[in-house]
Amino acid sequence: MEDIQAILLGLIQGLTEFLPVSSSGHLILVPILFDFEDQGLAMDAILHLATLLAIIIFFRTELWQLLAALFDKQNQPDRHRVVWGIAAATVPAGVLGLTLGDWIETNLRNPTFVGGNLIFWSLIFWWADRGASRTDGGEAELTRLSFKQILMIGCAQAVALFPGTSRSGITIAAGLFMSLSQPAAARFAFLLGTPAILAAGLHKTVSVVTSPEQTLLFTHGQMAVAFGIAFLSGYLAIKLLLAIVSRVGLMPFVIYRLILGGILLVWY
């Protein structure tokens, strides 16, 4: 049973971490639907690190350029502003996580809340997507974002701590509200999400290291399999999202979220 659970968790984490359907919501629902035990902190850490590796490899060129611009304000002022904006935009999610993270884990990780949140944010995503442009303006679109606009998208990202929201979905929607095209908003959502996913992975890893008394549900081999599946499915999910958003926008995901949210509210 643990073998199947490890495979499913890796697949769901990889796909839903990047697709705007809420990874936290799906990772809550899988144990309930299949009567699995809670996967524990160690597996959570492994899954987050796997998706972090996927995003780093996929966007290695853009991430390297931003890292270089961090130390080259004179020659790359626009990129320099963007990278510092991303750093600042990560703070709201960190603050909310530290102050309300435990309360959210205790009180909101239930199917009813997830279902309602899926439906509510689906309507917001539809609103943001309906008039958005599919014409990709390239890097120029991202470098014209002001520091204030980037910070506002970061504040939207913080809301994704509530299960059923979707970090990628809400940051794409926020980018669309800032007049980014659909492809540019999707790319920026990934770039903005990189430090957030890194912080989440490191936080869970530290929690595992500082809590050696916890019982491991999975063997090292099972966690390695989950890591590999989460990485591969996450990498493919990035390509899939960029392709879908460039062609038809967020509507396929909005429809999926509405159906899933409705089923959850009726079922529970």
Q: What string of DSSP letters covers 106-154?
A: HHT-SHHHHHHHHHHHHHHHHHHHTT------THHHHHT--HHHHHHHH
- Give yes or no for residue 104 having a pLDDT over 90: no
Residue 187 burial (CB count, 10 A): 25
pLDDT at residue 53 in the model: 94
* Total number of residues shown for the chain: 268
**For a pLDDT cut of 70, what percent of the chain falls above it?**
94
- Give yes or no for residue 54 having a pLDDT over 80: yes
Q: Which residue has the higher pLDDT, 151 or 75?
A: 151
Burial class (CB in 10 A: 0-12, 13-18, 19+), 257: buried
pLDDT at residue 205 in the model: 78
Q: For residue 94, give the nearest of 18, 178, 198, 168 by alpha carbon.
A: 198
pLDDT at residue 213 in the model: 61
Which token pair is 129? 């997507």
Q: What is the average per-residue pLDDT within 232-255?
A: 94
pLDDT at residue 241 in the model: 94
pTM for this prediction: 0.90
Q: By residue range, what is the domain housing residue 185? A: 2-267
CA 212, CA 236: separation in Å to the nearest integer?
34
pLDDT at residue 212 in the model: 60
- Give yes or no for residue 87 having a pLDDT over 80: yes
**What is the total count of domains within the chain?**
1
Please provide residue 146's backbone torsions phi and psi, each rounded to the nearest 5 degrees: -80, 165
Q: What is the average per-residue pLDDT within 145-154?
A: 88
Q: Which residues contact 74 (CB under 8 A, 6 or more apart)?
A: none
pLDDT at residue 101 in the model: 81
CA 202, CA 221: separation in Å to the nearest integer?
21
Q: Which residue has the higher pLDDT, 108 or 230?
A: 230
For residue 163, the 8-state DSSP code is T
The b/e string for 134-149 (b: 16+ C-beta within 10 A; e otherwise) is eebeeeebbebbeeeb
Q: Which residue has the higher pLDDT, 73 or 182?
A: 182
CA 264, CA 116: separation in Å to the nearest integer?
8
- Give yes or no for residue 239 having a pLDDT over 90: yes
Q: What is the average per-residue pLDDT within 116-122?
A: 95
- Give yes or no for residue 23 having a pLDDT over 90: no
Asked whether the beta carbons of 144 and 188 are under 8 A apart, the reply is no
Q: What is the average per-residue pLDDT within 12-35?
A: 81
Average pLDDT, the chain: 86
